[in-house]
Amino acid sequence: MPNNSKDTKLKAFGELLDVLDILRAKCPWDSVQTNESLRPNTIEETMELAEAIIECDNDKMRKELGDVLLHILFYSVIANEQSHFDIADVCNSLREKLIFRHPHIFGDTQADNAQQVRENWEVIKMKEKDGNKSVLSGVPSTLPSLIKAERVQEKAANVGFDWENREDVWDKVKEEINEVEQEIKAGNEVNTEKEFGDLFFALVNAARLYGVRPDNALEKTNRKFIARFNHIEKRAAQEGLKLNEMTLIQMDKFWDEAKSLHLGEI
């Protein structure tokens, strides 16, 4: 069970900082790390945390959060060595940002629900000293396309550019499906790609409007497919069959077995 004592948490945080300082000073590997050398590992650790979240594995989440925290502290140590900032500056900056962006808690702005908070969010960010120059400029260009689509839609919606009735989005989805089919029939590969992009974007919009995180949903389906296809391979081996020699009917039989066993479902 977690210990909710602030003193206990601060003590643990301080001891962690002490350990990192020792490693930075004495460990041959830790002592030579730079922002650039850590970056690939940071991305990997972040993805491992995302995986633990999808799997709803609390023990794994605890471990992966620790790995991500290590990187946050490591970058702060390096910055401190270069006289840029330290972890206290990071914490203070975050605290100030949270207070500034929550005037409905720390100020006199009214916001009774999450939607009202979101509507104020982009306007508040634009007022910050180092805030975004435009509504969509805060979306990192390196985000995976599926997540980027969701983020730009969210930001546009926060300033009022959104469907008045979420049910109307399905007309847009159907429209995009029809346009994809038309370009496929016309044999226009360039336009087919464009229309598929529009269709994906519309589906992401629909998911957002119905409170579904598209990246999470797709990843869960990926995992389900992998688990069920692995079952097909396993059963084929048990029956002495080779996948490339099996009929679709034979594969479907094993696929249905996997479905009945709920393989890959989280």
Contacts of 89 (CB under 8 A, 6+ apart): 76
Predicted confidence (pLDDT) per residue in 47-93, tens digit: 999 999 999 999 999 999 999 999 999 999 999 999 999 999 999 99
User: Using one digit for the tens of pLDDT, what is the confidence trace for 160-215?
Assistant: 899 999 999 999 999 999 999 999 999 999 999 999 999 999 999 999 999 999 99
CATH of segment(s) 6-95: 1.10.287.1080
- With 90 as the cut, is the pLDDT of residue 130 above it? no
Q: What is the pLDDT, as a whole number, of residue 137?
A: 83
The mean pLDDT value for 213-222 works out to 94
pLDDT value for 134 = 81
- The pLDDT of residue 113: 83
For 103, residues 6+ apart whose C-beta sits below 8 A from its C-beta are: 109, 120, 124
Indicate whether 144 pLDDT > 80: yes
pLDDT digits 0-9 by tens, 15-57:
999 999 999 999 999 999 999 999 999 999 999 999 999 999 9
> Does position 110 have pLDDT exceeding 90, yes or no?
no
Residue 250 has pLDDT above 70, yes or no: yes
**How confident is the model at residue 254, as a pLDDT?**
96
Task: Report the pLDDT value the prediction gives residue 9, as an integer from 0 to 100.
Answer: 94
pLDDT at site 107: 85
User: Is residue 123 over pLDDT 80?
Assistant: no
Over residues 253-263, the mean pLDDT reads 95
